[in-house]
């Protein structure tokens, strides 16, 4: 295995000792004494071509360079983007391995490695479908765009909520680069750099690297003895090599190879950090300590090769994007969040009540994803522009789930595997699409697009017959198979009207689609499974029709920009995931309808030279509309025969009361979606004072979200009232150098971000306050 620290040092030497600057400005220089006034234009590729954000008839936000650099300086992973734009939330029960994205309240709480999400991640024109790919680190970025609403024409299936789109910095034909390193609390190191090297008249290379590490900092305070600094550390390394080859003026090839290697602590689960009947973290919560008797670790390794070829034929360009991804991952955690179990003497279990032990590992021994897109796009500046293409997707995925006998169960020694489940899923999809924009007048333009989608998925799951845990809870199932397929048409239509050079109006209607899904995590299926109740669940395709209108404005000679959009959508046959219950299930269900509406506001202001202010605000109302839809509630619902088990207070109507080893079944009609806050707000302020050829600056950034529920059902305990995290940063920078100090989560906000409900009142918590210093150079 390579030594990542040595490779980092070699890369840093190659970068010329580099340390650095904001993303889109990495290979440019700026004289701060002559800094331009105003905000400048924002160019996006939301419609697969470069356009001014003010002209695009889509609700889209760009995460600016300064904010991106600030929020990731402490070593944060992709979850740092959560709440940084209107309507976007990101969370994970796997830590850095498996992010889950939500836009306009639409997402998926599914925690299995074949989870399907309605928010698509697109990395340099390549969709990253599997959750372990979606956690690929954010570094050497040209731009990050968040596209809200269905994107089913140009980007395809599984985009009914929207897209988070990453575009990396590409090689140019001038030598240059950047580098930056920060050091902070918990001995955290965040080092990143890139260099572009011309390699001939028509060839250029760009090498980029990211290294992040942090010491363990959470103590394990078991009664048998405290282990200091047992959890919380990680080491994450990512590398990218790009080669730009231009054999002729009209033909260009971009080759990319990249990989990631993560090794560290998995998500920390904290038993009974909620109290029955109370909606907030209790006195058991201590961010710096935990009491668990199981394993905790995770690794991820992913590799990618891709080729993008562009052939300019004059009136049109032909674009081919070919990509292959491979990955493997494993993550094990003490899911009950505590130690022992309540059938032991009181001093041997806790904190709080632990009805039974739960320690599981989920692994991806092998993931392979191949995608191919061929696209034709018109050139020129006439009133008509168009593009059309073909897309193919092929994925093979192996998953292994294991349950450990933490205390021993008579058949297995403590720490032994007593349940072993293997899954295999093969997915194929293709699409044919086209989009046309026509300028009816100098002020009025219309856009229409359509896409044909065809999807199929074959699934096989096996639970070993020689592992029974315990027999009264389940019996071996052998092998179960499922297959699903569907084809459908998605489309969009929009109109844009330029009232004047500073005001644009738009309206858009779009239909999106998420392919049918299968879920087969059968570690704990029913005790007496039947062909119709074997733990494997299937969700039919969901379709969404979304209506959106907005106004995009600039004012004050380009010093102010305000964009406002309102939306309404109907999501039919909505794919929802019922997690938890009495056996930590993960079951797919379809709701007849989910209705949502709200608005998004983006604003930027440069009132005086050196001062920039930004703000974002969104309101999202979501409602499940299905009179007969039910879900299992928390596994610890009180029953008279089991008065000592962990409890939660369910607020929904009970359809089937709880019984021994069976959670209550409740009606969830009218509930909001999980992880769907009504309000998300963010704001930043940056002020710089020129000093010589540089500046002294200070900036602050904040993100807020209102109350969220963790599950489909509503309870007093499994929710979080609000989260408010802010950062500050101050330093000096010139054309070539930067020195700064920073603090993240400056108020040390303590908020629950998710929970586990099948065993006790377990919580997952946001990141702690961190501080540090950074230095950088660009050339």
- What's the pLDDT tens digit per position in 43-75? 999 999 999 999 999 999 998 777 888 888 888
Which residue in this structure is represented by tokens 């210093």? 773
List Cβ<8 Å contacts ≥24 apart for 573-576. Answer: 573/540, 573/541, 573/542, 573/543, 574/542, 574/624, 575/108, 575/116, 575/118, 575/514, 575/517, 575/539, 575/540, 575/542, 576/539, 576/624, 576/673, 576/712
Q: Which of 34-43, 466-475, 485-494, 734-743 has the lowest mean pLDDT?
A: 466-475
Residue closest to 719 by CA, chosen among 663, 761, 660: 761
**CA-based radius of gyration for the chain:** 26
Token pair belonging to 776: 């950088």
CA distance 601 to 401: 43
Find the mean pLDDT for residues 702-708: 97
Nearest Cα residue to 455 out of 539, 576, 367: 539
18: confidence class by pLDDT, cuts 50, 70, 90: very low
Q: How far lies 457's CA from each of 73, 158, 282, 482, in Å?
A: 40, 14, 44, 8
Q: Where are the alpha helices (DSSP H) in 22-106?
A: 65-72
Answer whether 757's CB lies under 8 Å from 581's CB.
yes
Cα dihedral sign, 710-711-715-718: negative
- 755-776 per-position pLDDT tens digit: 999 888 999 999 999 999 999 9
pLDDT at 436 over 60: yes
146-174 pLDDT per residue, tens: 999 999 999 988 899 999 999 999 999 99
Assess whether pLDDT exceeds 50 at residue 23.
no
| pLDDT band (50, 70, 90) for residue 582 | low
Contact yes or no for 251/259 (Cβ under 8 A): no
Residue 375 pLDDT greater than 60, yes or no: yes
What the block records as the tokens of 360 is 């599981």
Q: How confident is the model at residue 193 (pLDDT cuts 50, 70, 90)?
A: very high
763: left (phi over 0), alpha (psi -120 to 50) or beta: beta
pLDDT > 60? residue 492: yes
C-alpha distances in Å from residue 725, one per residue of 66, 675, 683, 731? 17, 17, 11, 21
Percent of the chain whose predicted confidence (pLDDT) is above 70: 90
Whole-angstrom CA distances from 122 to 48, 305, 481, 637 are 12, 15, 31, 41
Give the pLDDT band (50/70/90) at residue 476. Answer: low
Residue 451's contacts (CB-CB under 8 Å, 6 or more residues apart) are 152, 153, 154, 156, 431, 432, 433, 434, 489, 490, 491
At 217, list the tokens: 């900092």
Cβ-in-10-Å burial (0-12, 13-18, 19+) of 706 comes to middle
Question: What is the three-class DSSP state of 330?
Answer: strand
- Asked if pLDDT for residue 641 goes beyond 60, the answer is no
CA atoms of 241 and 741, how far apart (whole Å): 30
Q: What is the mean pLDDT of residues 184-211?
A: 95
Q: What angle do CA 674, 680, 683 make, to 5 degrees?
A: 155
Contact 668, 625 (CB under 8 A): no
Closest to 268 (Cα-Cα) out of 250, 292, 251: 292
What is the arithmetic mean of pLDDT over 202-227?
A: 96
For position 498, what pLDDT does the model report? 96
Q: Is the pLDDT of residue 729 over 50?
A: yes
79 φ, ψ to 5°?
A: -65, -15
Average pLDDT of the chain is 89
Return the beta strands (E) in 522-674 as ranges: 537-539, 542-555, 560-580, 585-605, 611-625, 630-632, 654-656, 665-667
List b or e across 566-602, with b for residues whose CB sees 16 or more CB atoms inside 10 angstroms. bbebbbbbbbbbbbbbbbbbbbbbbbeebebbbbbbb
Q: Is the pLDDT of residue 525 over 80?
A: no
Can you give the pLDDT at residue 156? Answer: 85
At 302-339, the pLDDT tens digits run 999 999 999 999 999 999 999 999 999 999 999 999 99
Instruction: Provide the whole-model pTM.
Output: 0.92
């Amino acid at each position: 295995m390579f030594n990542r620290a040595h490779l980092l040092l070699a890369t840093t030497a190659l970068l010329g000792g580099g340390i650095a600057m904001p993303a889109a400005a990495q290979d440019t220089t700026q004289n701060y004494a002559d800094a331009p006034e105003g905000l400048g234009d924002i160019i996006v590729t939301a419609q697969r071509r470069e356009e001014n954000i003010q002209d695009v008839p889509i609700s889209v936000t760009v995460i600016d360079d300064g904010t991106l650099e600030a929020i990731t300086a402490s070593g944060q992973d992709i979850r740092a983007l959560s709440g940084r734009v209107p309507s976007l939330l990101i969370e994970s029960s796997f830590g850095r391995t498996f992010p889950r994205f939500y836009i306009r309240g639409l997402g998926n709480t599914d925690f299995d490695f074949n989870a399907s999400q309605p928010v698509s991640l697109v990395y340099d024109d390549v969709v990253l479908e599997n959750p372990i790919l979606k956690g690929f680190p954010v570094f050497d970025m040209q731009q990050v765009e968040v596209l809200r609403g269905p994107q089913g024409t140009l980007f395809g299936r599984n985009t009914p909520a929207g897209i988070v789109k990453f575009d990396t910095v590409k090689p140019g034909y001038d030598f240059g680069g950047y580098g930056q390193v920060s050091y902070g609390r918990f001995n955290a190191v965040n080092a990143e750099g890139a260099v572009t090297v011309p390699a001939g008249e028509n060839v250029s290379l760009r090498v980029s690297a990211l290294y992040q590490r942090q010491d363990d900092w959470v103590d394990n305070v078991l009664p048998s003895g405290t282990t200091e600094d047992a959890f919380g550390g990680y080491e994450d390394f990512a590398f990218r090599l790009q080669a730009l080859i231009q054999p002729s003026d009209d033909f260009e090839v971009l080759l990319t190879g990249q990989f990631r290697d993560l090794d560290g602590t998995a998500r920390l689960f904290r038993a009974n950090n909620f109290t029955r009947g109370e909606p907030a973290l209790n006195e058991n919560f201590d961010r710096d300590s935990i009491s668990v008797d199981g394993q905790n670790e995770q690794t991820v390794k992913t590799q990618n090769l891709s080729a993008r070829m562009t052939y300019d034929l004059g009136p049109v360009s032909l674009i081919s994007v070919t990509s292959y991804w491979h990955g493997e991952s494993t993550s094990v955690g003490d899911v009950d969040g505590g130690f022992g179990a309540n059938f032991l003497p009181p001093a041997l279990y806790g904190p709080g009540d632990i009805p039974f032990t739960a320690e599981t590992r989920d692994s991806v021994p092998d993931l392979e994803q191949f995608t191919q897109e061929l696209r034709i796009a018109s050139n020129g500046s006439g009133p008509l522009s168009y593009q059309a293409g073909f897309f193919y997707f092929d994925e093979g995925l192996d998953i292994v789930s294991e349950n450990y006998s933490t205390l021993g169960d008579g058949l297995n020694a403590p720490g032994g595997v007593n349940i072993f489940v293997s899954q295999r899923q093969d997915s194929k999809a293709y699409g044919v699409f086209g989009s046309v924009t026509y300028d009816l007048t100098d002020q009025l333009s219309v856009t229409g697009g359509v896409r044909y989608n065809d999807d199929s998925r074959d699934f096989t799951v096996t639970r070993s017959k020689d592992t029974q845990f315990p027999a009264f809870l389940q019996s071996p199932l052998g092998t179960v198979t499922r297959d699903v397929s569907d084809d459908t048409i998605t489309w969009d239509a929009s109109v844009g009207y330029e009232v004047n050079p500073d005001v644009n109006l738009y309206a858009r209607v779009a239909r999106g689609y998420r392919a049918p899904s299968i879920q087969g995590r059968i570690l704990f299926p029913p005790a007496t499974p039947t062909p119709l109740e074997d733990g494997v669940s299937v969700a039919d395709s969901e379709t969404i029709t979304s209506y959106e209108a907005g106004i995009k404005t600039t004012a004050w000679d380009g010093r102010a920009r305000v964009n406002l959009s309102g939306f309404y959508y109907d999501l039919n046959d909505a794919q929802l995931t019922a997690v938890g219950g009495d056996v930590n299930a993960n079951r797919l269900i379809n709701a007849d309808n989910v209705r949502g509406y709200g608005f998004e506001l983006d604003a930027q202001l440069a009132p005086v030279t050196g001062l920039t202010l930004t703000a974002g605000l969104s309101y999202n109302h979501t409602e499940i509309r299905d009179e007969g839809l039910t879900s299992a509630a928390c596994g610890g619902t009180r029953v008279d025969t089991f008065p000592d088990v962990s409890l939660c207070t369910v607020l929904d109507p009970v359809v089937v009361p709880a019984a021994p080893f069976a959670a209550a079944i409740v009606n969830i009609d009218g509930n909001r979606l999980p992880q769907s806050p009504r309000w998300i707000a963010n704001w930043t302020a940056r002020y710089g004072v020129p000093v010589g050829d540089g500046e002294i600056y200070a900036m602050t950034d904040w993100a807020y979200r209102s109350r969220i529920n963790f599950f489909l059902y509503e309870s007093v305990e499994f929710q979080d009232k609000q989260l408010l995290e802010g950062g500050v940063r101050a330093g000096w920078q010139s054309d070539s150098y930067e020195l700064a100090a920073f603090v993240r989560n400056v108020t040390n906000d303590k908020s629950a971000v998710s929970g586990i409900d099948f065993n006790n009142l377990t919580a997952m918590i946001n990141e702690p306050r961190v501080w540090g210093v950074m230095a950088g150079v660009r050339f």
